[in-house]
Amino acid sequence: MIELDRVTKRYGNSIVVDDLSLAIRDGEFCVIIGSSGAGKSTALKMINQLIPLSAGVIRIDGKDAASVVPEELRRRMGYVIQSIGLFPHWTVERNVGAVPALLGWPAARIRDRTRELLVLLKLDPEGFWRKYPHQLSIGQQQRVGIARALAADPDVLLMDEPFGALDPITRDALQSEIARIHRESRKTIVFVTHDMEEALKLASRIAVMDRGRLIQAGTPLEILASPANDFVRDLVGQDEVGIRLLSVETVGNRLRRGEAAPHQPIAATASLRQALSRMIAERTDRLAVADAEGRPIGALHLSDIVRR
């Protein structure tokens, strides 16, 4: 549990983070979103003490973060940044093993852990571990960056616009990767972005910030369905609200159990947006729905998508 309790950051007269209170529960994927200058990166960097607080307190599992040696705190939290920041003179292996080495793990254990992470991030461990960062594509570099953050198996992962510099295809692949890692590990992830699409795709909870203040915090559905003010409404994109609502709900929620329908079935875990897309593409108003094993379990009608 990470609690930001009335946290403020001032630089001279300008207030960058203003009286921010936010509690992030264990296992949550919390996305902090806002336009540039909203104070979201500053808020993130205060969690691992990279930026000292002007006022307020941050508690991690009930303990004041300021009472811990900052370096030790940071070694227990993975940290991923937009500019990646791999060490150019170190191999992939040494980059990934950096935190375990700081923690004094034995060499054999570091090596095993490094291989394990390269597999997890879908980087072939045989070809990769000897390479230097400049020999990798940007997408591969950020995969290594995520592996480095995960190396010492931290409970918390802090990510500062990690996919902001990637092309759309690579970004999409890495978003799926981090979503899978979150699903499988249940780590607490605090993720900063300015991209609402990304927030809706990844977040279990979204915190909207504007000019240093927290405007609204809630599930993606809550943010979409009842935006707190015009700023949030604009951020969501008024023209896109309907489509985005469809993208955060699954077919399973609207399913007519037991009913049969023609066509190739769609998975119950697919989003309503994907279902609508299939209907339009296949010029039909009914789709068969299948469970995880591919067994038909029901049907979805076009009207089910529209109706509440």
Pick between residue 100 and residue 212 the one whose CB is nearest to another protein. Answer: 100
Q: With CB under 8 A, what is the number of residues at the site for another protein?
A: 27
> Strand, helix or coil at 143?
helix
Question: What order of strands is seen across the sheet that includes strand 296-301?
Answer: 256-257, 296-301, 286-290, 266-267
Nearer to another protein, 36 or 264 (CB): 36
Identify which range of 68-76, 114-122, 176-184, 207-215 contacts another protein by CB under 8 A: 68-76
CA proximity to 134, closest of 81, 91, 73 = 91
Does 79 interact with another protein (rule: CB under 8 A)? Answer: yes
Tokens representing 120 are: 């997890």
Closest CA to 305 of 283, 273, 262: 273
Cα 292 off chain centre by = 24
Q: In this chain, which of 27, 57, 59, 90 binds another protein, going by CB under 8 A?
A: 90
Site string for another protein, 95-114 (x = CB under 8 A): ---xx--x------------
88 lines the binding site for another protein (CB under 8 A): yes
Strand partners, 250: 271
- The SS3 of residue 24 is strand
Q: Which is nearer to another protein, 152 or 270 (CB)?
A: 152
- Which H, E and C letters describe 25-91, residue by residue? CCCCEEEEECCCCCCHHHHHHHHCCCCCCCEEEEEECCEEHHHCCHHHHHHCEEEEECCCCCCCCCC
48 near another protein, judged by CB under 8 A: yes
With beta carbons less than 8 A apart as the criterion, state whether 20 and 2 touch: no
How far the first Cα of the chain sits from its last, in Å, is 34
Residues 136-155 that bind another protein (CB under 8 A): 145, 148-149
Q: How far is the CB of 134 from another protein (least distance, A)?
A: 6
**How far is Cα 132 from Cα 214, in angstroms, rounded to an integer?**
41
Which lies closer to another protein via its Cβ, residue 15 or residue 102?
102
75 touches another protein by CB under 8 A: yes
CB of 199 to another protein, least distance (A): 22
- 87 is a contact residue toward another protein (CB under 8 A): yes
Residue 50 found at the interface with another protein (CB under 8 A): yes
Q: Which residues are within 8 A (CB) of 70 and not within 5 positions of it... i.e. 6 or more apart?
A: 48, 49
Which of 9, 40, 74, 113 touches another protein by CB under 8 A? 74
Nearer to another protein, 91 or 284 (CB): 91
* Closer Cβ to another protein, 76 or 233, answer by number: 76
Binding residues for another protein, rule: CB under 8 A, are 48, 50, 70-75, 79, 81, 83-90, 98-99, 102, 132, 134, 145, 148-149, 158
